């Protein structure tokens, strides 16, 4: 555990950088590679703690997963329906995606597995995946409130279901589709609001038949069960949710000019870019291309001074759900009020992000209100006081969002623990400092929150 401090940069941020691979796509590549026959080579896999937990779990379930000398990952799968019962508990660490998607995979295998996670993950709701998986025939032994740790007895003969999502969640959709893989017949998920479609795209990439139609009730996704999946190469683009941090940093520090290369631009993930453009941000997409079925581009971001406050509609939330903490930090320096609607899901992430963002911004002298599921941040175009000491609550996005805010506040911002950052963005501090940010560890016990130590990022 290291206490970190970020302070206003001496000058504008400048240079180019590449963020690590997409977390959502990385989890899915390891899982589908493990269910395919033959070899899957994954290039650009996110080597963050969350994804490494999935790699270990897939090995425990019988797949061969190897990190090769050239930096790629090689998976030798067992085929749909052929995972083996794990001898040890599957510890998914901090990862909601890893836990929920893998529960879907195991639910349609005739095996029993036990799942657990860290102090954050055991507080998060699992009923949202357990309920549809129960309908498919899986059985659970869980604590009150359907939380981890839990035991899951997969169905020997799983039943196909048609399920309308009660919450907009790509994790729930994906858990059901992954269970549908080893289920005879068609498994259907209806989502009233579209969520990220990496599972659908990758299922097709590995040879499954997935149809997507617009129905009266929303987007209807159907999978034909028991396909033979065949190992395929996977090229993972940079994670737009990670790119959000250097992008916002460049917008916060006037005069910055930063190029973020190789960012995934799947339209179901680009709500933040839409919002930033509405706020007046100078962002251009260069070198737009399709890479392994996913749109990708390089983003040039210029800090041209204060942006304007906007209203972000609730229906945009699924396409930028993980980006609200850093958007709220940017809004603190915008001119006027930024109103973000439809944020109920933020309460059940790695921490209660609505509360964490509101308390953190208030401690930095920013005027902020939570009204039900709406977050309102007031800015006057000037640098906030800063000086807050942020409780990161095992939440990587809270840690990174407030370190970015500290680059533009009058007094430095500190976070109490940098460890969570490694779940999604290993190398974050080094990359940000590489373009001119000032983020440094603090030596505890040297007065106040300590003094700045040697930079080791
Ligand atoms: O499917 C995924 O890979 C994810 C879906 C989102 O969660 P929900 O499905 O809970 O909205 C997102 O917050 C998470 O970081 C990754
Ligand atoms: C919510 C997140 O991830 P997960 O649900 O996988 O823990 C996130 O990365 O912001």
Query: Per-residue pLDDT tens for 25-63?
Result: 999 999 999 999 999 999 999 999 999 999 999 999 999
Q: Which of 169, 324, 400 has the most ligand 1 atoms within 8 A of CB, as the residue to mutate?
A: 169
User: Which residues pair with residue 289 across a beta bridge?
Assistant: 296
3-class secondary-structure state, position 436? coil
Q: Residue 6 C-alpha to ligand 2 middle, in angstroms?
A: 24
Using CA atoms, how far apart are residues 174 and 240, in angstroms rounded to an integer?
19
Residue 448 has pLDDT above 70, yes or no: no
Q: Is residue 37 within 8 Å of residue 230, measured between CB atoms?
A: yes
Residue 229 has pLDDT above 50, yes or no: yes
The fold of 23-224 is UDP-n-acetylglucosamine1-carboxyvinyl-transferase; Chain (3.65.10)
CA angle 257, 261, 263 (to 5 degrees): 120
Using CA atoms, how far apart are residues 305 and 287, in angstroms rounded to an integer?
26
pLDDT for position 456? 35
pLDDT bucket at 293, cuts 50 / 70 / 90 = confident
Where is the binding site for 3-phosphoshikimate, in residues?
23-24, 28, 169, 171, 322, 349
pLDDT tens for 380-408 read 999 999 999 999 999 999 999 999 999 99
Query: Per-domain residue ranges for the chain?
Result: 4-21+237-452, 23-224
Instruction: Give 4-21+237-452's CATH code, choosing from 3.40.1350.10, 3.65.10.10, 3.30.70.20, 3.30.1360.200.
Output: 3.65.10.10
pLDDT tens for 231-286 read 999 999 999 999 999 999 999 999 999 999 999 999 999 999 999 999 999 999 99
pLDDT for position 457? 34
Where is the binding site, in residues?
23-24, 28, 96, 124, 169, 171, 322, 349, 353, 397
pLDDT tens for 57-101 read 999 999 999 999 999 999 999 999 999 999 999 999 999 999 999
Q: Is residue 14 within 8 Å of residue 435, measured between CB atoms?
A: yes
CA-based R_g, the chain, Å: 22
Whether the complex's predicted ipTM surpasses the cut of 0.90? yes
Query: Looking at 22, 91, 298, 322, which residue is catalytic?
Result: 322
- Domains 4-21+237-452 and 23-224 agree in fold: yes
């Amino acid at each position: 555990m290291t206490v970190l401090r970020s302070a206003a940069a001496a000058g504008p941020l400048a240079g180019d950088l590449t963020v690590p691979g997409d977390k959502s796509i990385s989890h899915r590549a390891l899982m589908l590679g493990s269910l395919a026959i033959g070899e899957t080579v994954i290039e650009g896999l996110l080597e963050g703690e969350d994804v490494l937990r999935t790699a270990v779990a897939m090995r425990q379930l019988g797949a061969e997963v190897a990190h090769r000398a050239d930096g790629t990952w090689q998976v030798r799968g067992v085929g749909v329906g052929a995972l083996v019962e794990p001898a040890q508990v599957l510890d998914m660490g901090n990862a909601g995606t890893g836990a929920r998607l893998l529960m879907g995979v195991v639910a349609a295998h005739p095996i029993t597995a036990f799942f657990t996670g860290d102090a954050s993950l055991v507080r998060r709701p699992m009923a949202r995946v357990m309920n549809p998986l129960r309908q498919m025939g899986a059985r659970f032994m869980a604590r009150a409130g359907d939380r981890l740790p839990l035991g899951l007895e997969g169905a020997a003969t799983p039943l196909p279901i048609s399920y309308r999502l009660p919450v907009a969640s790509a994790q729930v959709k994906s858990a059901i589709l992954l269970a549908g893989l080893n289920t005879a017949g068609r498994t259907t998920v209806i989502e009233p609001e579209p969520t990220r479609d990496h599972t659908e795209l990758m299922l097709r990439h590995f040879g499954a038949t997935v149809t997507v139609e617009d129905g009266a009730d929303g987007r209807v996704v159907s999978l034909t069960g028991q396909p033979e999946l065949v190992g395929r190469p996977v090229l993972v683009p940079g994670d737009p949710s990670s790119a959000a941090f250097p992008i916002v940093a460049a917008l916060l520090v006037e005069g910055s000019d930063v190029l973020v290369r190789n960012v995934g631009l799947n339209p179901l993930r680009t709500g933040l870019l839409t919002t930033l453009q509405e706020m007046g941000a100078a962002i251009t997409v260069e070198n737009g291309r399709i890479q392994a079925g996913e749109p990708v581009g390089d983003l040039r971001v210029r800090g041209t001074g204060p942006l304007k406050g906007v209203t972000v509609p609730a229906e945009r939330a699924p396409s930028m759900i993980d980006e609200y903490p850093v958007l709220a930090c940017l809004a603190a320096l915008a001119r006027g009020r930024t109103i973000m609607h439809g944020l109920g899901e933020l309460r059940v992430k790695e921490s209660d992000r609505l509360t964490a963002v509101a308390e953190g911004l208030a401690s930095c002298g920013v005027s902020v209100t939570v009204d039900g599921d709406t977050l309102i941040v007031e800015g006057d175009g000037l640098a906030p006081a800063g000086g807050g000491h942020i409780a990161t609550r095992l939440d990587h996005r809270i840690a990174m969002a407030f370190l970015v805010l500290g680059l533009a506040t009058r007094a430095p911002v500190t976070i109490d623990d940098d460890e969570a950052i490694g779940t999604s963005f290993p190398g974050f501090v080094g990359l940000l400092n590489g373009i001119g940010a000032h983020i440094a560890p603090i030596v505890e016990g040297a007065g106040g929150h300590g003094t700045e130590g040697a930079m080791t990022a």
